[in-house]
A and B are shown apart, each in its own frame.
Chain A
Amino acid sequence: MSTTTVAPPSAGIPPRWADPAAAVAATRPRVSVFETAGQTLVMAWRALKKMRRNPEQFFDVTIQPLLFTAMFAYIFGGAISGNVRGYLPLMIPGIVAQTVLTTCMSTGVQLREDMEKGVFDRFKSLPMARIAPLAGPMVADLVRYLIAAGLTFATGAAIGYRPGGGAFGVLGAMVLSVFTGWALAWIFTWFGTIASNARMVQGLSMMILFPLTFLSNAFVPVSTLPGWLQAFVRVNPVSHLVSATRDLANHAVISSEVGWTVLACLAVIAIFAPLSVWGYKRQL
């Protein structure tokens, strides 16, 4: 054995470049798609860690499904469908859509709060994909949508909802609403990157969410509405989501409503994902 004082082989530690010119030569001009995906997953890991350590973040996805489902069922059930049980097939998919939408609103608010912290300075200074800090938390939020949708169906079942679509129908409805939530979250993420503070994101999001969820077919049959409102309700994307969710959960049918919803979601992603990255870059 020699007793030289050479440093031990560095396990997985990048070498200190003896010549900075070599370090320059080793730089890559841009982030690859593969790297982007990896970085997004690391950012999702970070978001999940934070969720586990701040359980109050789960309040909206647990309290709201439990409370709203029961509340709406007993308040509106008799008036709209004659009894609570008859109202449930109409209402539960509506509540699922509403809950998922409110959940994706908090994505934007939380991103804004997060971006004000010093650690975002570090993310910006690293050679990483600009979309990763935005997309990562959204991947982690899939967990929240799943909890929201799952709990709503469970509460519904507890008060007497028996979905005609069976397990697969309900599963399909959940997948669709989770995907919609994820897609629409890009809108709120964009708000998060352009608004000056979290409260502004919250206000802006509420202003959009309330009309969208209530001026839809989520809680009442469209035929009971005045004509001019019917026109709006029919084009409201939330109505399509609610109809699609009903078709899936109650009849296990993949209707054209499902197609329209997915199409609308893709359009939202195509528009708002680039806008969000632009907004984030602009903050540098």
Chain B
Amino acid sequence: MTQIAAIEAAGLVKAFGRLRAVDGIDLRVRQGEIFGVLGPNGAGKTTMLRMLATLLPVDAGQARVLGVDVAREPHRVRQLLGITGQYASVDEDLTATENLWMFGRLQGLRSRDARASAKRLLEQFGLADAGGKRLKEFSGGMRRRLDLAVSLITRPPLIFLDEPTTGLDPRTRGQMWDTIRGLAADGCTILLTTQYLDEADQLAGRIAVIDHGRKVAEGTPDELKASVGNSTLQLRLAPGADAELAREIVRRAAGAEPVLSPERGGLNVPLQDAGRAADVLIGFREAGVPIASVSVDRPTLDEVFLALTGHGTGSETEDAELEVAAG
């Protein structure tokens, strides 16, 4: 039996003036999976999510959420999904309990039920002691958890998470990941945007990579990483080393094109096999190229990007502006 897709989008377009923030994206998310949308700032992730959540009108193409058309029946779609944004969308002047109660009431719960659901969610998210506190006293992590709790009041079958861990410290980030896994185990379908490859890797069953409003790749985390190698050799040449010679050695020893990293004298080398790092280093020693530091790491989003698009994640400032425009 074929199930209807949780999300099905075809040729989705959103333009802000001359800028096509989302430029013809097709997407198919199956029920019950965690689907990651990976891309740098300004790639169009948030804009796409907002269109699917009926927060932005669709300029061209169409999208269905559990078979319901986003443009034609937005009110229905809003009943099927919960969305948690990059910036916590909860009321700063109210307490955590009041927030949960209010959003429960707005979605048709009776007052008593809204109170019960607020209590349950506060406990579930480890906020039971903070229920009476106003949000001004909340930390970033607590705010984010409350925001997610608000999205779950009506237990919608679909949850959109827009960069759920951006700006969180590593510990809170781990907690958020556990929560997201718990939701998926509960049967929720989750659409998640992130700028972090490891986050998509940790959580998502499938990932779409978005760049400049277009989908440049889609697959399981393993498939995507295979395209950039399993690890990265990060080298820093000592001052005065011959960079051209160094690149030549890398090409010969690793069979891969080195990537200049932002810091002075930095070279990143994608490797299919971490063992090849030794060959590169031996090559350097034999040629007498001095090295300041060496490390072997997992590929970064930058490298995935480079491999998929032929350019890096791009100039930060320009893209940040686009994200604001897409806001």
The interface of chain A, by Cβ under 8 A from chain B, is: 10-18, 20-21, 23-24, 26-31, 35, 38-39, 42-43, 45-46, 49-50, 53-54, 117-128, 132, 284
Contact check, A27 vs B89: say whether CB atoms are below 8 A apart: no
* CA distance in complex: A45, B93 (Å): 12
* CA distance in complex: A45, B106 (Å): 11
Known contacts A24-B66, A24-B68, A127-B78; 20 additional CB pairs below 8 A are A13-B113, A16-B157, A16-B187, A20-B4, A29-B73, A31-B75, A35-B108, A38-B105, A42-B105, A49-B93, A118-B85, A118-B88, A119-B89, A119-B91, A120-B89, A121-B89, A122-B90, A126-B78, A128-B106, A284-B55
Contact check, A15 vs B105: say whether CB atoms are below 8 A apart: no
Least CB separation from B113: chain A residue: A12
Contact check, A122 vs B150: say whether CB atoms are below 8 A apart: yes
A41 nearest CB across to chain B (Å): 9
Contact check, A20 vs B6: say whether CB atoms are below 8 A apart: yes
Determine chain B's interface SS by DSSP, over half rule. Answer: loop
Least CB separation from B99: chain A residue: A119
Write the B76-102 contact mask toward A (1 if CB under 8 angstroms, else 0).
101110010101111111100010001
Least CB separation from B6: chain A residue: A20
* CA distance in complex: A49, B55 (Å): 27
Contact check, B112 vs A12: say whether CB atoms are below 8 A apart: yes
Contact check, B87 vs A125: say whether CB atoms are below 8 A apart: no
Contact check, A118 vs B80: say whether CB atoms are below 8 A apart: no
Contact check, A13 vs B155: say whether CB atoms are below 8 A apart: yes
* CA distance in complex: A118, B150 (Å): 13
Least CB separation from A18: chain B residue: B187
Contact of B117 among A13, A24, A27, A45 (CB under 8 A): A13
Please list 5 pairs of residues, one from A and one from B, whose beta carbons are closer than 8 Å in the complex, sorted by A's number. Answer: A20-B66, A50-B94, A118-B88, A118-B90, A119-B91
* CA distance in complex: A119, B54 (Å): 16
Q: Tell me which residues across on chain B come within 8 A of A122, comparing CB atoms.
A: 89-90, 103, 150
Contact check, A126 vs B113: say whether CB atoms are below 8 A apart: no
Q: Tell me which residues across on chain B come within 8 A of A21, comparing CB atoms.
A: 4, 66
Contact check, B85 vs A127: say whether CB atoms are below 8 A apart: no
Tell me if B110 is interfacial: C-beta within 8 Å of chain A.
yes
Contact check, B91 vs A27: say whether CB atoms are below 8 A apart: no
Given known A-B contacts A17-B157, A38-B105, A54 and B93 have beta carbons under 8 A apart: yes
Q: Tell me which residues across on chain B come within 8 A of A128, comparing CB atoms.
A: 106-107
A38 nearest CB across to chain B (Å): 7
Tell me if B154 is interfacial: C-beta within 8 Å of chain A.
yes
Tell me if B239 is interfacial: C-beta within 8 Å of chain A.
no
The interface of chain B, by Cβ under 8 A from chain A, is: 4, 6, 31, 53-57, 66-68, 73, 75-76, 78-80, 83, 85, 87-94, 98, 102-103, 105-110, 112-114, 116-117, 120, 134, 150, 154-158, 186-187, 189
* CA distance in complex: A40, B113 (Å): 19
A140 nearest CB across to chain B (Å): 13
Contact check, B55 vs A14: say whether CB atoms are below 8 A apart: no
Contact check, B54 vs A46: say whether CB atoms are below 8 A apart: no
Q: Tell me which residues across on chain B come within 8 A of A121, comparing CB atoms.
A: 55, 85, 87, 89
Least CB separation from B56: chain A residue: A284
Contact of B67 among A24, A30, A53, A117 (CB under 8 A): A24
Q: Tell me which residues across on chain A come within 8 A of B189, comparing CB atoms.
A: 20
Contact check, B113 vs A11: say whether CB atoms are below 8 A apart: yes
B64 nearest CB across to chain A (Å): 10
Q: Tell me which residues across on chain B come within 8 A of A118, comparing CB atoms.
A: 85, 87-90
Q: Tell me which residues across on chain A come within 8 A of B55, comparing CB atoms.
A: 121, 124-125, 284
Q: Tell me which residues across on chain B come within 8 A of A10, comparing CB atoms.
A: 120
A100 nearest CB across to chain B (Å): 25
Given known A-B contacts A13-B116, A118-B89, A122-B90, A42 and B102 have beta carbons under 8 A apart: yes
* CA distance in complex: A11, B55 (Å): 31
Q: Tell me which residues across on chain A come within 8 A of B54, comparing CB atoms.
A: 125, 284
Contact of B155 among A16, A28, A117 (CB under 8 A): A16
B148 nearest CB across to chain A (Å): 12
Contact check, A23 vs B89: say whether CB atoms are below 8 A apart: no
**9 nearest interchain CB pairs?**
A12-B113, A127-B78, A122-B89, A118-B89, A20-B157, A27-B76, A121-B89, A27-B79, A127-B79
* CA distance in complex: A27, B78 (Å): 9
B73, B85, B92, B102: residue with the most chain A Cβ atoms closer than 10 Å: B102
A27 nearest CB across to chain B (Å): 4
Contact check, B66 vs A30: say whether CB atoms are below 8 A apart: no
* CA distance in complex: A29, B31 (Å): 22
A13, A16, A124: residue with the most chain B Cβ atoms closer than 10 Å: A13
Contact check, B155 vs A39: say whether CB atoms are below 8 A apart: no
